[in-house]
Amino acid sequence: MLQDLQDWQIEGAVAPWRKPGRVGLSVVIPCYNEAPVIDALLARLEPVCEAASPGDYEIVLVNDGSTDGTWSLIDAHAARSAHVVGVDLARNHGHQLALTCGLQVCRGDLVLVIDADLQDPPELLPQMMRLVREGYDVVYGQRVAREGETLFKKASAALFYRVLEKMIDIAIPRDAGDFRLMTRPVVDALNAMPERFRFVRGMVSWVGFRQVAIPYHREARFAGETHYPLSKMLALAFDAVTSFSVKPLRMASLCGVLFGMAGLALLGWVLAVWLQHGTVSGWTSMIGVSLIMGSVQLIVLGVFGEYLGRMYIETKGRPMYIVREVRRGGDGR
Ligand code: UDP
Ligand code: MG
């Protein structure tokens, strides 16, 4: 029964975009304005896939509403090779949803997730597959170096992972992005999770199974520039925290208790002064206290709002993404 339900949910989520049947290996790649790298990406990826799973693989390129020539390149590659599947989203849905779409469309018994910009070396695949054969279900790349990234990017990424660690209750490996190899049961488990605010690497930690890290050097972007400016990093951090923890709400209550105690102490002091001098003390402290209390209340309301807003959007139950077109190599669809 549970199995039936899961199957139904998975099929319900992916139909009609997923073709029936299986392949040995899928590579899922979200692409947003990656025109300068698509050719180089496939040139490097195809031999690796061919060696790892001869003739039995697919490369799923999800075009996340790019505004450059990314889709026409993907389309051309899908027409050229029976192993390339192109999915064109109707607009930019963001990295995590483009990745989700790829995971739902792909048919591999093993699924490799990789960025389009060649920052993660595809050549690591054989090593990752060896670990899967040893019995692991998830092999995730853990960065030991980041080349060609600004100090700010490195510092903000480091801060991101450390704050996240404090805020959420599940262990998300440090310095691991979305570069990972997963087995089909893990991908099916992810596909059965219906939430719209998706922090995929956290969800992978959450599902469990046997997971292992593989250290690697994160290279510089092959071309183009990062699509993760500070604003998107912050949005991702909010999604990550709110989808895995209610700690901020608990912190809001704690904040209330602390300020309540401080307020009581202040009241004691005010009363003491009143008894001694028979006067109330000045205006500055009054303004100070009301400003602090006002801002604390607004912050706490804001935290509530973050959760409430997400609940509102989740309850609408809209699809996570809209597919405009799927182009499969060979069948000309
Ligand atoms: N990406 C996407 N949609 C977006 C932003 C990024 O599909 O709205 C893709 C992008 O094409 C790349 C991956 O997500 O394949 C990671 O993005 P990027 O390399 O810009 O991030 P960084 O490596 O700088 O963290
Ligand atoms: Mg990148």
CATH number at residue 202: 3.90.550.10
Q: For residue 75, is pLDDT > 80? A: yes
Say whether both 125 and 9 belong to one domain.
yes
Q: What is the extent of the structural domain holding 168?
A: 5-244+318-328
Residues 26 and 155 in one domain: yes
What average pLDDT does the chain have? 84
Residue 50: pLDDT band by 50, 70, 90 thresholds?
A: very high
Of 136, 91, 141, 86, which Cα lies nearest the Cα of 115? 141
When computed from its CA atoms, the radius of gyration of the chain, rounded to whole angstroms, is 25
Do 13 and 159 fall within a single domain? yes
Are 129 and 52 a contacting pair, CB within 8 Å? yes
Residues 219 and 145 in one domain: yes
Q: Closest ligand 1 atom, CA of 31?
A: 11
Ligand 1 in contact with 34 (CB < 6 A)?
yes
165 neighbors 172 (Cβ within 8 angstroms): yes
Considering the domain architecture, whether residues 80 and 31 belong to the same structural domain is answered as yes
Q: Is the CB of 117 under 6 A from ligand 1?
A: yes
Q: Is 86 in the pocket of ligand 1 (CB under 6 A)?
A: no
What are the residues whose beta carbon lies below 5 Å from ligand 2 (ion)? 115, 117, 119
**Geometric angle at alpha carbon 185, from 103 and 181, rounded to 5°:** 60
Q: Using the mean position of ligand 1's atoms as its centre, give its distance from the Cα of residue 31 in Å.
A: 7
Tell me if 61 sits within 8 A of 74, measured CB to CB.
Answer: yes
Looking at the structure, tell me whether residues 43 and 192 fall in a common domain: yes
Residues 116-163: tens digit of each pLDDT = 998 889 999 999 999 999 999 999 998 886 666 777 777 877 787 777
| Amino acid identity at 110 | L
292, 324: one domain: no
Question: Are 196 and 77 contained in the same domain?
Answer: yes
In-domain check, residue 219: yes
4, pLDDT greater than 60: no
pLDDT given at position 5: 38
Tell me: do 225 and 120 sit in the same domain.
yes
* 333 domain-assigned: no
- What's the whole-number mean pLDDT along residues 92-109? 93
Helix (H) / strand (E) containing 287: helix 283-316
Q: List pLDDT tens digits, range 170-226.
A: 777 777 889 999 999 999 999 999 888 888 888 898 898 999 999 988 877 777 777
Distance CA(87)–CA(102), nearest Å, equals: 8
